[in-house]
Structure 1
């Protein structure tokens, strides 16, 4: 395996571990606030599991195999791109093997894609990196405009080809140009901003709970040794650096789950 692929994996693993830790804190805090708003008394563990069956809503999940946002050519671009960002290797599955394109499709077809939590009003001036997202595009609009613009750029540079048909080294060259901002896309699409969102969303699809459609068979979690959404980790709080010897569990359990 090339050093480039190893470096990519190390980069992805580092981002995933940091994100998982932060997400656990936020979700726990949010759950406490939600319970308080409902007037439910705080519960403590006193020899039994502190929940009752059916007391909570079943979390929504991304189900099915159909693509609702991406067109055929867009899907071909995304599948090729995520497999260059996360290639298949002995350490773990590729982006497509982890179902990242499906995750992206469902996210872009929903509130995230519409930009429900984005401020999209003008003026649209170029901001500093610290100011975050400053574009007039909702995420779904950015993906749609950028994929078409990248394929037009590729067609001009590679004799009418599209990105999905390029050889791996040429795909890498294009992605690196997008990342560096050295490729100029038409239609007012900022190449660097699109690449940053694509990379971030790809990592999210690779390491998020499988309930959202990505991380198929928990392959991303297995790669980094993350045991997932087990109920109680209290016995491991002081055992730093030790591997948790449990198979990963998602919000909806895991294959082969049996109640004791």
Structure 2
């Protein structure tokens, strides 16, 4: 992410507009089927304590290492780790969305994706993560002698860039598909209401100046180019 405040804010505002809560691959809401989060008792600047229910220890280490460079924290706001994005993703895997029950999953399936036809693999979200993480860790082990989470930060970023560019051959699924799917979930977790596990302390909303679930904006409708002076409010009434 850029260290220049306005470009970073502009990027995140665009993300908020483009990916309100929808799954990048399936078009079905990823957050609408999750259960409300537990009360937040974490320290300032840290996500609350959480034990994953879907991801294994090795997969959990991968997720935490991978989401950090995608939306890192800086002097302007909290990043994916601080706002609990890994928790959001883990909890989504235990919903109908994670099992692919909200997707059309009848064949034919194709590994060579035709953009006009959308997602064409037989893998549901849980499989995408389980098989994708294993494949990336295997590639990292062969190429760098360590699994992804054990690599230094610079190498991790380079691996993510190679995944994004489709420059790594994965047996389980196309590298671009895995990267784009994970990136989409990271964006969702960063901007979803805190009740779904991510965006803890409404860090994502604060970054872009989004007021959240406040009920009344009538006094501000005609005040153009004026900064909204109140912090965000979550669906459950938490104030930021």
- TM-score w.r.t. length of structure 2: 0.83
Contact 1:230 1:249 in 2 (8 A): yes
**Which residue in 2 is equivalent to 1:157?**
143
Q: 227, 230, 235: which one pairs with 1:243? A: 227
Root mean square deviation, CA, Å: 2.4
Q: 223, 227, 232: which one pairs with 2:216? A: 232
Q: Which runs of 4 or more aligned residues in structure 1 lie more than 3 Å from their structure 2 counterparts after TM superposition? A: 1-10, 17-20
**Which residue in 2 is equivalent to 1:177?**
162
**Which residue in 2 is equivalent to 1:12?**
12
Residue-by-residue CA offset, 1:42-97 (whole Å, 9 max, x unaligned): xxxxxxxxxxxxxxxxx940337331111100000000000010112011112111
Query: Larger Rg: 1 or 2?
Result: 1
Q: How many pairs are equivalent?
A: 218
Q: 62, 80, 89: which one pairs with 2:37? A: 62
Q: 64, 73, 87: which one pairs with 1:88? A: 73
Q: Give the deviation of 1:17 after TM superposition.
A: 3.5
Q: State how far apart, in whole Å, the 1-side matches of 2:199 and 2:79 are.
A: 10
Relative to structure 1, the CA distance from residue 219 to residue 174 in structure 2 (aligned partners, 3 Å threshold; closer, same or farther) is same
Relative to structure 1, the CA distance from residue 6 to residue 255 in structure 2 (aligned partners, 3 Å threshold; closer, same or farther) is closer
Relative to structure 1, the CA distance from residue 9 to residue 225 in structure 2 (aligned partners, 3 Å threshold; closer, same or farther) is closer
Contact 1:70 1:105 in 2 (8 A): yes
Q: Give the deviation of 1:9 after TM superposition.
A: 5.9
- Where do residues 203-218 of structure 1 align in structure 2 (5 Å cutoff)? 203-218=187-202
Tell me: higher relative CO, structure 1 or 2? Use CA pairs within 8 A at least 6 residues apart.
2
Gaps of 5+ in 1: 24-58
Q: State how far apart, in whole Å, the 1-side matches of 2:131 and 2:14 are.
A: 30
The reply on whether 1:123 has 2:98 as its aligned counterpart is no
The reply on whether 1:219 has 2:200 as its aligned counterpart is no
Relative to structure 1, the CA distance from residue 129 to residue 9 in structure 2 (aligned partners, 3 Å threshold; closer, same or farther) is farther
Q: Give the deviation of 1:127 after TM superposition.
A: 3.2
Contact 1:127 1:134 in 2 (8 A): yes
Gaps of 5+ in 2: 23-33, 40-49
Relative to structure 1, the CA distance from residue 8 to residue 62 in structure 2 (aligned partners, 3 Å threshold; closer, same or farther) is same
Residue-by-residue CA offset, 1:92-135 (whole Å, 9 max, x unaligned): 11211110000000001111110111112211123322322111
Q: Give the deviation of 1:241 after TM superposition.
A: 2.4
Q: State how far apart, in whole Å, the 1-side matches of 2:109 and 2:5 are.
A: 36
**Which residue in 2 is equivalent to 1:192?**
176
Q: State how far apart, in whole Å, the 2-side matches of 1:240 and 1:131 are.
A: 40
Residue-by-residue CA offset, 1:221-250 (whole Å, 9 max, x unaligned): 111111110011122222232211111100
Name the one with the larger helix percent: 1
Contact 1:8 1:85 in 2 (8 A): no
Q: State how far apart, in whole Å, the 1-side matches of 2:142 and 2:61 are.
A: 19
- TM-score w.r.t. length of structure 1: 0.77
